[in-house]
Structure 1
Amino acid sequence: MMLNPIEIICYYLVQPIVDLLAYLLNDVHYLAFLAAICVIGVLLGLVMGIITLICFKYQGVEEPKQKLQNEEGIEIQSNNNKLKSE
């Protein structure tokens, strides 16, 4: 019988982590449980950050165009103000 991917992830990846956390909470100490939660959070954050960077780099996002220079921006604003006052 072939397992589907959800069963593989839940049974072989998530269930041992849940069992470890339950063991730490019930049999070891509450602070060990909190430390394990913190470590898991940091590791998940790093993994998700790396995945995000990889996805962002492979999207082929073009670099943004240069903005207007300050002098041009000031001229546009002053022209708009003159039009509004008239």
Structure 2
Amino acid sequence: MITDYPLTFSRPEAYYPPKYTYYTSSVFRDYGVIDWVGLASVNGEGHFTFNIPNLGLETINLYIEGMTADGQLISDVKTVRLSND
């Protein structure tokens, strides 16, 4: 079922993540942004690949938001434990 949502989007702009003095600070933990990926799509197996810069963090939250091919909205948060090898 496709539903019309009163949403409009402008063309994607380049995203420049802010530079933080400390990636372990409470400000970064509560409000920090590492990156944003626009116009993402999955491959034939349903996978999406991306890189996360090594900032020495043990975990990050991924905020996943978008729309499926059939018009369903997606909004989810996943906490990921990182390997800092």
More helix by share: 1
Tell me the TM-score normalized by structure 1.
0.18
Which of 1 and 2 has greater Rg? 1
Tell me the TM-score normalized by structure 2.
0.18
